[in-house]
Structure formats: structure tokens, C-alpha cells
Structure 1
Amino acid sequence: MNIYQFLTIIWSRRWYAILLFLITVLTTAVVSVNLAKKYTSTTALVIDHRGADPVTGVDLPAQLMPAYMATQVDVIASHNVALKVVKMLKLQDNPELKLKYEKAKAKSAIHDWIADSLLENLEVEPSTTSSVIQVSASANDPQLAADVANAFTQAYIQTNVEMITQPAKQNAKWFDEQMAFFRTQLEKSQQKLSAFQQEHGIVVVDEKLDIENTRLIELSHQLSESQAKTYELSSRRQQLVNSAERGISYDSMEEVVNDPLIRDLKTDLARSEAKLADIAMRLDRNHPQYRQAQAEVMSLRNKIRSETKTVLRGIESNNSSSRQRDQTLTKALAEQKSKVLKLKQQRDEVAVLNREVENAQKSYDNAMQRSVQTRMESEISQTNIAVLNHAIAPEKPAKPKVLLNIILSMFLGGVLGVGFALVAEFIDRRVRSSQDVLDALGLPVLGVITPVQQKGMLVGRLLPWSNKAIDSTGRLLRKLD
């Protein structure tokens, strides 16, 4: 089918197409005018996601913003928010809605039924480039539409606050229970530390340990000096023993030589011996002066021997005393070491107890901080949502849109009219052009006679486009001859 055939068919059945077109347009216009009018009122909300939380100070990450906005849209269009709207506006007491509820014979409660009806006439549109959300409500009454839109915003803000405070209240209650447990643990740790310090008389462990360490170092130094002295005295004693075994005189020993008394006695002895020698040259040995001088020399020699023995006994006594002192210092050093080790052990135990107290205190402080934070969150009444524009009662209905419906019905009526003309043509096929003859019979067309009224006669007129067909027919007849 070419365009000429198409236009021929449409022109031939134009009255059917026009009739269907008019029926469609008129029907649409009548229905649109008689439809119940619906008014739509819109309110705008701003969600300030850049603001920090008033309690925690935590900002919402930018990458979570799309999901956050989508969540807010779902919250606004939730059944919970719709129930709050029903209660705010007391729609369950509306006689018209009660009548509709009774006619609907719904199985759910009237609150739920009205909430579902409100959600069916609610539209929530978030902005793709900003943090604004448009909330539109539709109703047969313009004021009701505005009231429902505003009520949805208030219910959403209230729900948003509840979503923050209700979990916070539960957390606060749980943290209060944990606070009692951590407080008990802290008190037990402190009591355990205090009991240990009182039991061992510990005031300042590190200071006492430093003192005992200093004393341990002093004792170690004293023992080293005493052992060195004992070694020296033992060596002197061994020399005395060796000298006694060999019969060597003790006069050459350092202790004897350096003894001041023996040195004075030897000086007096030398002087007395010189005096005795002088008297022996002048007097007889039986002379009283000689005997006196001799007795004096003998006395001095006895004193020297006595003092020498005293010095030797002193060496022995010093050696014994030094050994005893070594034993005493060794015992004291061992006791001091044990005391220092015990103090170190006590210090370690006190450190462990202190760490337990510190950990218990830290746990208690963290629980206290979280408890205060959650308690503040449970009592918060602020939100990051603000109403940008309140809904007002619209002056014109949003539905039905009569002009738009008529325009669409004109397009639809035209399509239906053309379609009906084509269907009718296919059902009742007719020859309307020379091309139809060629297509249907396969015969060449010699000419086309069109009805032209001229002086009561029909005059045949060859169409220009049929000349080719006449020529081809003539050629075909000549060939047959």
C-alpha cells in the first residue's frame, strides 16, 4: 500500500473516522468535567546533613547521603507516619471517611484503612541535586490536602526524633545497668589494693625499694672491704705460723716493727744496753749499779716480748673478728637481698593491682561517658530537618486536567479513527484506484473515467499517469496480431 492508496482509503471512509474522533473527544471532555476534583498541596522539607550531631559531633559521610535521603523518603511514606497523621487530624472521626470505610468493608481497623488511603494519595519526591524533599498530598477538599501535607511533615519530624530517642533510651538503660557492674568492679579492685598495702605496710613502694637497694649496695661494699681485710689478716697470721715453724724472730714483722710501744721499748732497751755496757767496763758485775742496769735491760726485753705477744694475739683476734664480721655481713647481705626481692615482688603485685584499678576506672569512665551521651540523646528534641515551605490550600484542582485530557483524546481519537477506517477497508475491500486493479487482477489499465458533470453528460478523461498503460496495451495487441 502506497501513500496514495492510504489517503484514498481514509478519504473514502472519512465520516467513520470523524465520527469516532468526535465521540472520543466528547466522551473525554464529558468524563473530565464530571470527574471529582482533586486538589494537591505540597510542602518542602530541608534535611541538613552537613550539620554535626549535637551530642556526638559526628558528621554524616558524603558517600552515604544518597542512601540517607532514600531512607528518609521511605520513612515519610511509612505506615507509622501515616497513623500519626490520622491521629493528629482525628480523621477516624470524620463522618465521610467512616461512611467510605463501612462501604469498603475493610478487614483492617479504621486507623489503618485511613492511613493506607492517605499513602495512596501521597507523593514524596527527593531532589537529585539538593537536600530538599517535596511532600505532596491529594484530597477532594483543598484545605484537607494542605492539612494532610503539613501533618505528614510534622509526623515525619516527630518520627525522626523518636528514631533517635527510643534506641538512645534503651541504650541509656543498658548503660545504667553496666554502670553498676563497673562501679562494683572498681570498688573491689580498690579494696583489694588497699588491703594488700595495709597488710604489708606499703605506703610508697618505689621509694622504699630505692632505700633498700641503696642499703643492699652499701652492705655489698662493706662485705667486699671486710673480706679484703680478712684476707690480709689471714695472710699475716699465716706468716706468723710460718715464722714460728721456722724459728724466725717476730721482730721483723711489720706489725711489730710499726708498733709504737714496741718501738719506744726498743729505743729504751738500746739505751739501757749501752748504759749496761758502759757500767760493765767500769764496774764489777756484782756491783749494785751493774745489777740494776742489767735488771732494767731484762725488764725491757720482757716487756718487748710481752708486747710482741700482745701484737700477735691482736693479729689473731683481728683475724677472728674479721671473719665474724664477714659472716655477719654475708648474713645481712643475704637478708637484704631477700628483703629487696620481696619488695620487688610486692611492687609487681601492687603494679598488677594498680593496673586492675586503672582498667576498672577506665571501663567505668567509658561507661559513664557513654551513659551520659545516650541519656542526652534520649532527651534530645532537636533534629536536622526543617520545614522550608508550608503547604497551603490550592485554588485550582490538580485533577482532572481537562485541557490535557482533551488534547490527548484528540490524538487518541485520530489514531482510533484512522485505525477503524483501515480495519473497515480490509473487511470490505474495494477498488479505489488503478493501482488496485493492477494489484488485484494483474491487468493493465487503459484509462480512468472520473465522474465530471458538464451539461448533463459524463465526459471521459484520460489520466496523465495512464498513458504508459495505454501504450503498453497497444504494443501487446500488435504482438498478438
Structure 2
Amino acid sequence: MSLQQLFMIIKARYKIALITLFVITLATIAASLLLPKRYTASTAVMVEMRTADPVMGNIDSPMTAAYLPTQVDIINSDRTAQKAVKALGLSTNSAVHDKWLQTTNGEGVFEIWLVELMQKGLDVKPSRDSNVITIAYTSADPTFSAAVANAFAQAYMDTNIELKVEPARQNASWFQGQGKILRDNLELAQNELSNYQQRKGIVITDERLDSETEKLSDLNTQLTIIDSTSADTRSKISASSNAANLPEVMLSPLIYNLKGDINRLESKLKEASINLGSNHPQYKSMQSELSSLKLQLEKETSHIGRSYATTEDVSRDKADNIRSLIAAQKRKLFELKHERDEANVLLSDVTSAQKAYDAVSQRFTQTNLEGQSTQTNVSVLTPAYAPLRPSSPQPKLYTLVAIVIGTLIGIGFSFMSEMLDRRVRVADDIEQSLGIPVLGELSKQQSAMSRWWRNTRILRRHKKIEFST
């Protein structure tokens, strides 16, 4: 359809378009005047994307792009709405309860109905280029709208804090339970170590093991000395066949005196044999005395030789005794080391239990502090105030929209009426409806512009006919 055809249809049926436009505009104006006034109050909250941890002191990483939409969903959630309802005291309002009974006849849950009713007038929009979220509420009462908007902002902040600290509180509760278990384990390990120490007489910090080791070293030293002395004695015993050459014999004062007496007596005996003769009684007496001295010398010499054997026996017995003491000391050391090892194992259990308990206790303290935090990354930028003018209806805007929509609908009705009662209004209508070319057209006196346009159209039409033939 050409523009000329469209213009001619509108020109011919303009009354239908005007009537439609008038009716729609009039109805819109009447509705704007009759509809109840509604007021919209809004508050703005700012969400900080990077916050400092009050417990650890570090700065959190920047939030993702989905953080603000998530916050919008939190504001629109039932949890936030329930807090707002509770803050406004609507759940205990008898008038609201009576309205619920009239609306639902007592069916359903009053709190859920109230939350859904509150959410209907709520409008939450995040800013496109900032971290500001606008919370708007619309109702028939401007004061109530402002109160609800502020209540939702405060409820959102409280919910934000709860969502932040709830995991910390759950962790703190879990760590508290684990701390009790680990504390019991620590006490049990300490009791086992204490009982073992008392039973074995062990003090972990004493030097008993070192002293017993020193005793063993002393016994080994004594055994070495005795073995050396015994070896020396045995060598002397092996040389005891010529006991007179032994150092102890040669250095003995008694043997030295005996030898001197023997030498003097032998000299006297030689003189007596010359002077008195071998049969003289004095000679016989001196000879008997000499034999007695030699016998005593031999006895003393053999006594010293026999003393080495006695010393060897004593040394051997002493060495055997020391060896038995060394063996007993070694067994005692092994037992002490074994007891010390067991005590160290128990001490290690106590240390491990202490470390585990300290770690859990530290985490409990940290999470408990986090669970008590009241810090949030949300702050109210602009509180809501009771609006002075209603947000709806808006007669001027509605009228303007009604004029635009009425014009479009009027044109549509005009075309619909034309389609139901088709008329020939321009030459193109004849060609389209009858399929024959238009050779001439009679019209009123036209301006030069109109004649030029008509001639151009006729010439173009003839060219089309020639081209088709």
C-alpha cells in the first residue's frame, strides 16, 4: 500500500480515528482521576565491594560481577521480608490480621500472606555504573511507604550480617565440640603419662639415665684396670719359678735382712770351720742357725710367690663380680631406655594432643569472634522520606500515552473499516482490484506540483505497460 493510499484512507475515515482517540483519551483521563493515589518512597544503600576483616585484619578480595544481583535477590527474599514485617510490627497488628481473614477466609499461613503482600509493592534496582542499590516501596500511604522502605533497608543489612556470621557461628560450634573431645584426649594422655611415670619412677626431666650410663662406664674402667693387673700378676706367676729375681722379693726388707744375716753367718761359719773345726759345738750351732735362716728365706720367698696366685684369684673373682655388675647395669640401662622410650611415646602423645587442642582452641576463638561481628559492607546512603506527590496515577503522562496509543488504535480501526468496505480512492486501487491499467484521470484543478506528480505517475505507469507487453 502506497503512502497516497494510506493518506486517502485516513482522510476518508478520519472520524473513526478521531472518535477512537477521543474515547481512549477520555477514558484514560477519567481513570487517572478515579484511580487511588499511590506513593513511592525509596532509599539507597551502598554496597562496599572490598571490606576489611575485623578479626584477621586483612582486606577481602573484590567481589564478582554477580555480587550485586545476589544482593538484590537477598533484598527480595522472604527472609528479609520477614525481618521487615517483624520490625514494622505488622504480624501483631489486628487490622492486618482481620484483612487477612477477609481476603483468604483464614486459609494459608498469615505470615506467608503478609510477606507476599509486602513484596508486591517492593521494587529493588541496582545502579548500572555504581555499587548503589535503590529500594523503593509503593503504597497508598506515603508515611507507610517510607517506613517500609527503611525497614527493608535495615532488614537487608541485618540479613547481610547474619549470612556473613552464620557460617562462622556454625564453625565455632563445631570447633567447640571438637575442642571438648581434644581436651578429653589431652587429659587422658597426660593421665597415662603421669601414671606411667609414677609406676616406673621416671621423671622425664631427670638425669637418671645419664648417671646409670656413667656407672656402667666406671664399671668398665674398673674391669679394664683389674684385667690389666691380672695380666701382670699372671706374667709374674709364670716367672715365679725363680722367685728370688722377682722385684717384690728383691725389694722386700725382710728378705733383704735375712740375706744379710745369712751372708754374715756364712762368713762366721767359714771362720769357725778354720778356727774351731766342723765338729765343734759352736760350729754346729752356727750351721743350724744358718739352715734356719735359709729355710726362713725360702719360706718368705715362696710366700711372696704364693701371694701372686692369691692376688690372681682375688683379681679373677673381682673381675667376675664386676662383669656380673656390668651385665646387670646393662640390663638396667636397657630397661631404663625401654621405659624412657615408652615414656617418650606417651609424652609425644601428650604433645600431639596439646598441639591439636591448641590449634582447635585458636580456631574456635577466631570463629567465635567472627560469629559475634556486627560489621557489614552495606550502609544506608539516603534514607526514605514520605513523598509529597503521588507516583501514580500521573494524568499528564497517562494522557500523552493515551493520545499516542489512541492515535495508533484509531488508525488501525480506520484500516479495519476500510478492509470491510473497500472503496476506490486512487488510481492504484483500480489496477490492484481490477488488474487493468488506468489510461486517464480526471481531477480538479491542481497546482503545478500536483500536476507534475500526476504526470510522472502516468508516465511511469505507461512504461510498466510497455515493458510488460
Q: Which moved more, 1:163-172 or 1:426-435?
A: 163-172
Whether contact under 8 Å (2:204, 2:343) holds in the other structure is: no
> Which residue matches 1:146?
146
Residue 79 of structure 2 corresponds to residue 80 of structure 1: yes
Residue 406 of structure 2 corresponds to residue 413 of structure 1: yes
Size of the aligned set, in residue pairs, is: 463
- How far did residue 304 of structure 1 move? 3.1
> Which residue matches 1:333?
326
> Which residue matches 1:313?
306
| Partner Cα separation in structure 1 for residue 328 and residue 159 of structure 2 | 75
Q: Which moved more, 1:179-188 or 1:162-171?
A: 162-171
| Deviation sequence 1:142-197 (CA, Å, 0-9, x none) | 11100111122233344445556777677666666655554444443333322322
Change (3 A) 1:283 1:158: same
Residue 193 of structure 2 corresponds to residue 196 of structure 1: no
Change (3 A) 1:27 1:334: same
Amino acid at match of 2:455: P
> Which residue matches 1:44?
44
- How far did residue 375 of structure 1 move? 5.4
Change (3 A) 1:19 1:278: farther
| Partner Cα separation in structure 2 for residue 101 and residue 59 of structure 1 | 53
Whether contact under 8 Å (1:446, 1:469) holds in the other structure is: no
Change (3 A) 1:449 1:259: farther
| Partner Cα separation in structure 1 for residue 60 and residue 171 of structure 2 | 24
Segments of 5+ residues of structure 2 without an aligned counterpart are none
- Superposed, 1:41-120 pairs within 5 Å as 41-48=41-48, 50-54=50-54, 56-57=55-56, 61-62=60-61, 66=65, 69-92=68-91, 93=93, 95=95, 98-99=98-99, 102-103=102-103, 105=105, 107-120=107-120
Residue 423 of structure 2 corresponds to residue 430 of structure 1: yes
| Deviation sequence 1:66-116 (CA, Å, 0-9, x none) | 555554433332223323333332335364784475145462233332221
Amino acid at match of 1:112: I
- How far did residue 64 of structure 1 move? 5.0
Amino acid at match of 1:83: Q
> Which residue matches 1:246?
none
| Partner Cα separation in structure 1 for residue 271 and residue 348 of structure 2 | 94
> Which residue matches 1:395?
388
Whether contact under 8 Å (2:72, 2:126) holds in the other structure is: yes
| Partner Cα separation in structure 1 for residue 47 and residue 265 of structure 2 | 127
Residue 456 of structure 2 corresponds to residue 465 of structure 1: yes
For the aligned residue pairs, the C-alpha RMSD in angstroms reads: 4.0
Whether contact under 8 Å (2:100, 2:110) holds in the other structure is: no
| Partner Cα separation in structure 2 for residue 204 and residue 414 of structure 1 | 102
- State the SS of the aligned residue for 1:392: coil
Q: Which moved more, 1:205-214 or 1:77-86?
A: 77-86
- How far did residue 348 of structure 1 move? 1.6
| Partner Cα separation in structure 1 for residue 3 and residue 288 of structure 2 | 179
- How far did residue 234 of structure 1 move? 3.2
Change (3 A) 1:468 1:313: same
| Deviation sequence 1:115-153 (CA, Å, 0-9, x none) | 211111112234465544322211111111001111222
- Superposed, 1:115-130 pairs within 5 Å as 115-127=115-127, 130=130
- How far did residue 382 of structure 1 move? 5.1
Change (3 A) 1:443 1:44: closer
Whether contact under 8 Å (1:445, 1:469) holds in the other structure is: no
- TM-score, reference length from structure 1: 0.79
Whether contact under 8 Å (2:100, 2:106) holds in the other structure is: no
Amino acid at match of 1:38: R
Determine which of 227, 235, 244 is the counterpart of 1:251.
244
| Partner Cα separation in structure 2 for residue 473 and residue 176 of structure 1 | 95
- How far did residue 205 of structure 1 move? 5.1
- How far did residue 344 of structure 1 move? 1.1
Whether contact under 8 Å (1:50, 1:59) holds in the other structure is: no
Instruction: Give the percent of matched residue pairs that are identical in Structure 1 and Structure 2.
Output: 35
- State the SS of the aligned residue for 2:425: coil
- TM-score, reference length from structure 2: 0.81
| Partner Cα separation in structure 2 for residue 475 and residue 326 of structure 1 | 149
- State the SS of the aligned residue for 2:202: coil
Amino acid at match of 2:243: Y
| Partner Cα separation in structure 1 for residue 265 and residue 138 of structure 2 | 149
| Partner Cα separation in structure 1 for residue 232 and residue 211 of structure 2 | 32
Q: Which moved more, 1:178-187 or 1:29-38?
A: 178-187
- How far did residue 39 of structure 1 move? 1.4
- How far did residue 44 of structure 1 move? 2.5
Amino acid at match of 1:208: R
- Superposed, 1:156-171 pairs within 5 Å as 156-162=156-162
